[in-house]
Copies of this chain bind each other. A is one copy, B any other.
Amino acid sequence: MRYADHHKDETHKALLKAAATVLREKGPDRLGVAEVMRAAGLTHGGFYAHFKSKEALLTETLAVIFAKSKRRVHRMVEGLPPRHALATYIDFYVGQAHRDDAANGCPITALNSDMPRQPKKFRAAFEAGVRSLSDTLAGWMREAGIADAERLAPPILAAMAGAVSLSRTISDRELSDELLASTRTGIKARLGLTDLNLAGEIRLVSSQ
């Protein structure tokens, strides 16, 4: 049947939204075209009216995820001085809520070790997201007067993502919590943010 003019656009967005969750939950290999269609209330056949391939879906999905993440980050630290922005973001990123919600979290933590095995375009989308996030961190660090911000941002991001990834594979809850806490304090110490006490200051921002 024919649908109203805007239906295709809406379906396209719905597919991306469904894929965004599934991609981070199951990874690119275990995400199935049929599953994404089903999640949007459709059957698998029509998929290729929306995306020319599974790879195209994955690539577009990743771009959407990173873009949405970026907006969320900026809302989270809006109006905060750079040092507070840094500390706030670190506490969020290396936090239990993020660990426990991979489906809505940062793709770096959910997909990092998959990337070397993925097709070029998909990897490129990932890399663009990594760079953008790293640049955001570097910007805050520079504004906060931290030396060598550009050089320091990537290892810091890697340390944060590594900790969250590892915390998800550790089944001992207490050990996992401690890994996160210890990573937060370690990184904030390295950035000279130990004087900040953000307890109660962390803003909850809707994941939309």
Q: Would you call A30 an interface residue if the criterion is a C-beta within 8 Å of the partner chain's C-beta atoms? A: yes
Q: Would you call A6 an interface residue if the criterion is a C-beta within 8 Å of the partner chain's C-beta atoms? A: no
Q: Would you call A182 an interface residue if the criterion is a C-beta within 8 Å of the partner chain's C-beta atoms? A: yes
User: In the complex, which of the residues A115, A116, A124, A160 has the most CB atoms of chain B within 10 Å of its own CB atom?
Assistant: A116
Q: Would you call A20 an interface residue if the criterion is a C-beta within 8 Å of the partner chain's C-beta atoms? A: no
Interface string of A130-162 (1 = CB under 8 A from B): 100000000000000000000110110111111
Given the complex, which residues of B lie within 8 Å of A155, measured CB to CB?
Answer: 159, 163, 179, 182-183, 186
**9 extra interface residue pairs, beta carbon distance < 8 Å, beyond A159-B159, A162-B163:** A25-B117, A27-B29, A112-B165, A112-B166, A116-B169, A154-B182, A155-B182, A155-B186, A161-B162
Supply 27 A–B pairs (Cβ within 8 Å), ascending by A. A25-B117, A27-B113, A27-B114, A27-B117, A29-B29, A30-B117, A102-B116, A108-B166, A109-B113, A113-B113, A113-B165, A116-B168, A123-B169, A124-B171, A127-B170, A151-B182, A152-B182, A155-B182, A157-B166, A158-B162, A158-B166, A158-B183, A159-B162, A161-B166, A162-B162, A162-B163, A162-B166
